[in-house]
Amino acid sequence: MSEAYLIEAAGEAAGVVIRERGGFRFFASGPQFAALEQQLFRRSADAERAARALLAANDNAVRRRGFPHPSQSWR
């Protein structure tokens, strides 16, 4: 019987992890989490932490380029 868990970051589905020998394999739900695709994490919580960190890093990169945050409108 396999174990699968949904991983969320900032209220959105980042992907799922499936338990396998040695940990949990990550499968991304979209391109913003593709950097984590197929990575093996020791615990499901480690995958969630990585997804949140990736989302935060992407968010910071967008702000540095001068684009508004997705929650803000263009002015």
pLDDT digits (tens, 9 = 90+) for 43-75: 999 999 999 999 888 776 555 556 555 555 544
Does 1 or 40 have the greater pLDDT score?
Answer: 40
pLDDT tier for residue 1 given thresholds of 50, 70 and 90: low
> In Å, what is the CA distance from 2 to each residue of 7, 28, 32, 59, 66?
16, 18, 26, 33, 44
Instruction: Tell me if residue 24 falls in helix, strand or coil.
Output: strand
Query: Residues 65, 22: contact at Cβ < 8 Å?
Result: no
pLDDT tier for residue 34 given thresholds of 50, 70 and 90: very high
pLDDT more than 90, % of the chain: 64
Average pLDDT value for residue range 30-40: 95
